[in-house]
């Protein structure tokens, strides 16, 4: 259960960082976002390692090396405190996934807004602009024949 307690500690810390990230996205505070990203990545990496260690321990005890195996282990060997801790980890994991999804939506909204602003600053492209055989833009000209009579 030591691994599970550490997972729960890390997911709690990740939730805090995701909430700070959301506040930074709403406030468009890029500096704060930049400061949060390395710690967020570190936590996610560490959580992956711990989940792998938990799966290995479950397999070594004769259970499936996945969440279903944890449920079976809890039924066979777990205490009420173990089950409560596991349910907390699952609940916090769902909350973190939802926060991350919402933060992704905020990022996409910011990106769309920024791209729109950049597009407004660009000069309009001339009519008839196409890509040539080299992949570069080439302006086509409309040629009107000259008829001599």
Query: Is 8 among the domain residues?
Result: yes
In this predicted structure, what is the pLDDT of residue 65? 93
pLDDT at res. 146:
47
Residue 98 lies in a domain: yes
Residues 6+ apart with CB under 8 A from 55: 65, 66, 69
Distance CA 18, CA 128 (A): 47
Does residue 121 lie in a domain region? no
Asked if residue 51 is part of any domain, the answer here is: yes
pLDDT at 114: 76
pLDDT tens track, the chain, 149 positions: 788 999 999 999 999 999 999 999 999 898 999 999 999 999 999 999 999 999 999 999 999 999 999 999 999 999 999 999 999 999 999 999 999 999 999 988 888 877 777 777 777 666 556 666 676 766 555 545 545 54
Q: What is the pLDDT of residue 121?
A: 77
- Can you tell me the distance from the alpha carbon of 125 to that of 66, in angstroms, rounded to the nearest whole number? 55
Which has the closest alpha carbon to 53: 7, 118, 96, 86? 7
- Containing structural domain, residue 89: 2-116
- The domain that holds 30 is classified in CATH as 1.20.58.300
Residue 141 counted as domain residue: no
Q: pTM of the entire structure?
A: 0.74
What stretch of H or E contains 97? helix 80-121
pLDDT at position 138: 60
Distance CA 4, CA 83 (A): 11
- On whether residue 133 sits in a domain, the answer given is no
The H-or-E segment that residue 149 falls in is none
Tell me whether residue 72 is in a domain: yes
Read off the tokens for 85: 């801790």
Q: Please state the domain count of the chain.
A: 1
């Amino acid at each position: 259960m030591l691994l599970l307690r550490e997972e729960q500690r890390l997911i709690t810390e990740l939730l805090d960082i995701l909430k700070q990230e959301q506040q930074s996205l709403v406030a468009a505070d890029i500096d704060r976002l930049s400061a949060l990203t390395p710690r967020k990545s570190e936590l996610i990496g560490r959580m992956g390692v711990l989940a792998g260690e938990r799966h290995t321990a479950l397999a070594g005890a004769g259970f499936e090396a996945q969440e279903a195996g944890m449920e079976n282990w809890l039924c066979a060997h777990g205490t009420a405190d173990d089950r409560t801790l596991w349910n907390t980890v699952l609940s916090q994991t769902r909350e973190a996934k939802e926060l991350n999804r919402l933060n992704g939506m905020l990022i996409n909204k910011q990106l769309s807004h920024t791209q729109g602003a950049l597009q407004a600053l660009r000069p309009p492209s001339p009519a008839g602009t196409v890509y040539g055989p080299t992949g570069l833009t080439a302006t086509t000209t409309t040629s009107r024949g000259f008829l001599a009579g």
